[in-house]
Structure 1
Amino acid sequence: MSTRSLICKEQQDGTYYGIYCHSDGYLTYNGAMLLDHYSTPERVDALIALGDISSLGPIIAPDPSRPHSFDYDKRQDGVVVAYGRDRGEKDIDARTISLEEAKESWCEYMYVFGKDGKWRYYDLCRDDPELCDVEEDLASEFRQMGIARPNGIYGYFPPEQVAAIKKEQAQMSKSQSEM
């Protein structure tokens, strides 16, 4: 089952303009990916210009010299998979999205790139969602796991992966303290 999300940019008038993303909408994937790879208005605009997407990746445009399509076995690693570009779907354009519409959309999260250049989000599963800071809540989530946020790793962190990361971070910390 997918964790659906909306990815939006706050407009000058305070409205949200954005797209739907079908997969991995949770904080430790889409939230972290947006924070790390979509930190400028230009990058956010380029992402939103694709229209609705199936999955988010750090790379917006595929390498034109290699095949890339919606089919799982024909996707380029790390490239955003877009319904329009990669599957030829219509009616997938970005649109203005209100919080009320978002709450009725079956999406779990709504990410908003603010006018101040910061990523925030609404947890749409809450009865009265509030705008929260992606970076702060991501750090908090990893603190609760007992680890520092690992660079370049996105997704769900099962207990065995958390244990391995914890061990690796402890070894790195020990090595640094011995220097």
Structure 2
Amino acid sequence: MGTRSRIAVMHGPVAKSIYCHWDGYLEHNGAILQEHYDSSKANELVALGDLSSLRPDIGVKHPFSCLDADAGSDYEERYGNMCTFYDRDRGETECTWSVDHTFEDFLDRTKGCGAEFYYVIKDGVWYVGDTYGSTELSNKLTPLAEAMQAVETVDQ
């Protein structure tokens, strides 16, 4: 089962966002966004629409999975560092980015798609939150670097 998330670029109160199905937790999507995506690259990511999986590189069109025709046994070696998009890589339609004009509307969209985590880049800084309603990250924006530091401290 996937840990769903929403990834957004925020300009003032307006959020342009996409859904991501797999690995939405801090240690995966959070770490990748923090380490590999600045504002410019985040805008490129969101422009391509909903994701199956986030990876360090946006990449190019490729087979959606190793089960697709001629993906072969070297699928992970060839495409493992590339994001996999529903539209670009599987040809699905209606998988474009969404726009919300307030943070509250963005939260409603996030909860509505079943996302457990959300990531927002605003003014060059990544933030994170969750929809659980019972954690320190719930329903607000926390700097991603701080949240990841807290996770690392707990894990030690």
TM (norm. structure 2) is: 0.83
- Aligned residue in 2 for 1:99: 107
Separation (CA, whole Å) in 2 of partners of 1:72 and 1:46: 25
Q: Which has the higher strand share?
A: 2
* 1:22-54, Cα deviation, whole Å (9 max, x unpaired): 000001100110000002x21011101110010
Q: Which runs of 5+ in 2 are unaligned?
A: 101-105
- Aligned residue in 2 for 1:37: 36
Aligned length: 139
Q: 1:80 aligns with which of 65, 71, 83?
A: 83
TM (norm. structure 1) is: 0.73
Separation (CA, whole Å) in 2 of partners of 1:71 and 1:4: 18
Separation (CA, whole Å) in 1 of partners of 2:121 and 2:112: 21
- Aligned residue in 2 for 1:3: 3
Pairwise CA RMSD:
1.5
Counterpart of 2:120 in 1: which secondary structure?
strand
Highest RCO, 1 vs 2 (Cα 8 Å, sep ≥ 6): 2
- After TM superposition, give the deviation of residue 60 of structure 1 in Å: 0.6
How many percent of aligned residue pairs carry the same amino acid?
Answer: 35
- After TM superposition, give the deviation of residue 112 of structure 1 in Å: 0.4
Separation (CA, whole Å) in 2 of partners of 1:59 and 1:85: 14
Q: Which runs of 4+ in 1 moved over 4 A?
A: none
- After TM superposition, give the deviation of residue 89 of structure 1 in Å: 0.4
Counterpart of 1:72 in 2: which secondary structure?
coil
- After TM superposition, give the deviation of residue 99 of structure 1 in Å: 1.4
Counterpart of 2:110 in 1: which secondary structure?
helix
Separation (CA, whole Å) in 2 of partners of 1:3 and 1:80: 16
1:37 partner amino acid: H
Moved more, 87-96 or 118-127: 118-127
- Aligned residue in 1 for 2:150: 140
